[in-house]
Amino acid sequence: MQVSLIILAAGQGTRMNSDTPKVLHKLAAAPLLHHAMAAGRALDPARTVVVVGHGGDQVARAAQDCDETAEVVVQDEQNGTAHAVAQAAPLLADAPGQALVLYGDTPFIRPETLQAMLDARDRHAVVVLGFHAADPGRYGRLLTRGDDLLAIREFKDASPEERSLTLCNSGVICAEARTLFRLVSQVGNANAAGEYYLTDIVELARAQGLSAGVVICDESQTLGINTRAELAAAEAAFQARARAEALENGVTLTAPETVFFALDTHIGRDAVIGPNVIFGPGVTIESGAEIKGFCHLEGCHVSRGADVGPFARLRPGAELAEDVHVGNFVEIKNAILDQGVKVGHLTYLGDADVGEHTNIGAGTVTCNYDGVMKHRTTIGKRVFIGSDTMLVAPVTIGDGALTGSGSVITEDVPAEAVALARARQTNRPGLATKLFEKLRAIKAAKAKD
d(CA 371, CA 3): 50
The candidate with the shortest Cα–Cα distance to 261, out of 289, 286, 281, 288, is: 281
Do the Cβ atoms of 311 and 295 come closer than 8 Å?
yes
Beta partners for residue 331, in sequence order:
313, 348
Beta partners for residue 340, in sequence order:
none
CA dihedral 24, 25, 29, 32 (to 10 degrees): -60
Close Cβ partners of 397 (under 8 Å, ≥ 6 residues apart): 377, 378, 379, 380, 383, 385, 391, 403, 409, 412, 413, 419
Q: 302: how many CB neighbours lie within 10 A of its CB?
A: 28
357 catalytically annotated: no
Q: Which of 296, 345, 357, 375 is catalytic?
A: 345
Do the Cβ atoms of 162 and 143 come closer than 8 Å?
yes
Close Cβ partners of 15 (under 8 Å, ≥ 6 residues apart): 226, 227
d(CA 145, CA 237): 33
Do the Cβ atoms of 72 and 49 come closer than 8 Å?
yes
Beta partners for residue 384, in sequence order:
359, 402
Catalytically annotated residues = 345
